[in-house]
Amino acid sequence: MNYGIGIDLGGTLIKAVVMQENRVILKNYLWETNDHFESLQQGAPIWAQRIRQGISKIKSEQGRDPSWIGISSPGLADTNNKRITAMPGRLLGLENLDWEVYLDSPGKIFVLNDAQAALYGEVQLGAAKGRKDVIMLTLGTGVGGAIMLDGKLFQGRLGRAGHIGHLSVNYKGGPDICGTPGSIDTYIGDNSISERTEGRISSTKILVERYRQNDPYATSIWLESVRALAAAIASLINILDPEAIIIGGGIAKAGKDLFIPLHNFLDQFEWRPNGERVSLIIPNLKDYAGAIGASCFAKDSHQGM
């Protein structure tokens, strides 16, 4: 049976999966990224060498070349899903790297933004399996996202589609890293917690712990953050009319402390024709969603050529 490889390139770790043609996962791999551009081997960053060496190892173990390779990565993928065209400030050497040339692969290689790959994985093999209109939100250091419409990833003209963190919920707010005023990224992302709490709380984890202890200040800040998230979700529902919204990322690990107030706010904000409400679901592929999604996307794209 033919097989393929899915790679998820992260800032700290590289995850990989070997997938059979029937989408059964044979094996998982984990390698350190070593995102230090000044450390070069044969003219390429260490992380790129790690990926090439890892794929060589997989080929040796399988006894033949893969039929497809999918790569999940931060940044904007080009319209042909062949390379990352924009990834400022991190993983230097990634922008415009031609993966098919670099890996000297006889099989086709397809590249996806990491959030888009995670969504594709959850729709193919995870929590949203069988659904066609799905939004994913990842709540962590910042807020990421991805969109699937009618069973296809919506990537947009430049690959920007799905950057939900930069949706404005306050037009009078300060600009985020993309220049968007009052974005959801600045209202609930961990990167803004010190600013939102005037330096009194250093992480969302501590904020939620104090919320659980009924601390009045932490409760006010946390509920304001969740209220902003609910407003963003309600807006997305009105614009895209999805079947479900997947909510993942480190902040989603707050569990009921996130989802109970979020549901309460959505009871106020969500437009529900005929009583229909959009399902909020939790991803279940965990750390390997990006690698699995990249492999599935590459397989489907390869077969569709």
Out of 5-19, 49-63, 99-113, 172-186, least confident range: 99-113
Superfamily of domain 127-281: ATPase, nucleotide binding domain (3.30.420.40)
pLDDT mean over 156-178: 93
Q: Is the pLDDT of residue 161 over 70?
A: yes
Residues ≥6 apart with Cβ < 8 Å to 27: 17, 18, 58, 61
Alpha-carbon Rg for the chain in angstroms:
20
- What ranges do the domains of the chain cover? 3-114+297-304, 127-281
pLDDT (0 to 100) of residue 305: 46
pTM score: 0.92
Q: Angle formed by the axes of helices 256-269 and 216-240, to 10°?
A: 50
Residues ≥6 apart with Cβ < 8 Å to 200: 217
pLDDT (0 to 100) of residue 36: 61
Superfamily of domain 3-114+297-304: ATPase, nucleotide binding domain (3.30.420.40)
Instruction: Identify the band that residue 87 occupies on the pLDDT scale cut at 50, 70 and 90.
Output: confident
pLDDT (0 to 100) of residue 304: 64
pLDDT mean over 216-236: 98
* Integer Cα distance of 140 and 74 in angstroms: 14
> pLDDT per residue over 234-266, tens digit each?
999 999 999 999 999 999 999 999 999 999 999
Residues ≥6 apart with Cβ < 8 Å to 213: none
> pLDDT per residue over 265-288, tens digit each?
999 999 999 999 999 999 999 899
Domains 3-114+297-304 and 127-281 share a fold: yes
In this structure, the chain runs to a length of 305
Q: Is the pLDDT of residue 218 over 50?
A: yes
pLDDT (0 to 100) of residue 302: 80
> pLDDT per residue over 88-110, tens digit each?
777 888 999 999 999 987 778 99
